[in-house]
Amino acid sequence: LLVNDKLIARGEVVVVNEKFGLRLTDIISPVERIEQLK
């Protein structure tokens, strides 16, 4: 999952009732997120 070209989380695409969704499997730690802003 990218927000403003920054990695926020990793996940997988799922289909429920013919609708797409995203199941998050790994959320980037706050320290890693701050490092990406530099």
Spans of all domains in the chain: 2-28
Longest CA span, the chain? 41
Torsion angles phi and psi, residue 18, rounded to 5: 65, 20
Q: Residue 13: what pLDDT? A: 96
Q: In this structure, which long-range contacts are made by residues 4-7, counting pairs with CB atoms below 8 Å and at least 24 apart in sequence?
A: 6/33, 6/36, 6/37, 7/36
What number is the average pLDDT over the span 29-38? 82
Judged against a pLDDT cut of 80, whether residue 14 lies above it is answered with yes
Q: What pTM was computed for the model?
A: 0.60
The CA distance from 1 to 20, in Å, is 14
Phi-psi group of 31: left, alpha or beta (phi > 0 → left; psi -120 to 50 → alpha; rest → beta)? alpha
What number is the average pLDDT over the span 15-29? 95
